[in-house]
Amino acid sequence: MKVIGLTRGSTEEQVCTLAAQTEKIRGFAAAFGHELVDIFEDAGQSGKSLNRPGLQAALEAIRDGRAQGLLVAKLCRLSRSVVDLDTLVRTYFADTAKYHAALLVVDQHIDTGTAHGRMLLNVLMSINQGERELIAERTRAALQHLKSQGVKLGGVRAAATLADPLTVARVMELRAAGKTLRDIAGALTAEGYDTLRGGKWGAETVRKILAREAA
């Protein structure tokens, strides 16, 4: 099967990340006998948007019939948005999709060309959605706790130049749980919170957010 590879990495880690993803994609294609037509990159691009040059070029290749499958190293490299991922699946990778292409994910062993692969993808999408809802629920609880303690939330708006209100609330929640600045930065990156520049979270940025909250 002819496949298009797609990689995505944040600004700060893209050199290492994109190279590692490319290696996985090439190895997977060779191991399973797929013809790798091309590999497109989304360097420094957020996984919460479908409006990315690499992704759009890959989808165009599928629409044009140049490839019958899209190959990514990890599902989050394709999208971090459950809604966007569902849109892609319904349009390109489902049995009833208009283009009926296959989505291949190396690390999660997904191949939507099989019933098992489609089932696994649906399970992972449900898990991701559940995790997002749990994070939102905890964030709302943290904000409500701050209000009950008489804390003014104007600092959340003041910190908008660093992060959106939900991210600020998540930072405060993790700090209240005793997490270090480095731990908080790592958690924000792992949970898919975007930075203004699209890179990984750093301890210094977390410190600035907390400092503004305490002001």
Catalytic positions, written as ranges: 10
H-type helices in the chain, by residue range?
14-31, 53-63, 75-78, 82-88, 115-148, 154-158, 165-176, 181-190, 203-214
141-157 as b/e, with b when 16 or more CB fall inside 10 Å? ebbeebeeeeeeeebbe
Q: What separation in angstroms does the CA of 125 have from each of 39, 42, 86, 135?
A: 24, 22, 8, 15
The two three-digit tokens of residue 78, written as one number: 């394709």
**Which phi and psi angles does 42 have, rounded to 5°?**
-120, 85
Q: What tokens appear for 195 in the block?
A: 């930075």
How far, CA to CA in Å, does 99 sit from each of 29, 59, 67, 105, 137? 21, 10, 11, 18, 37
In Å, how far are 45, 140, 144, 147 from 152, measured between CA atoms? Answer: 34, 15, 11, 7
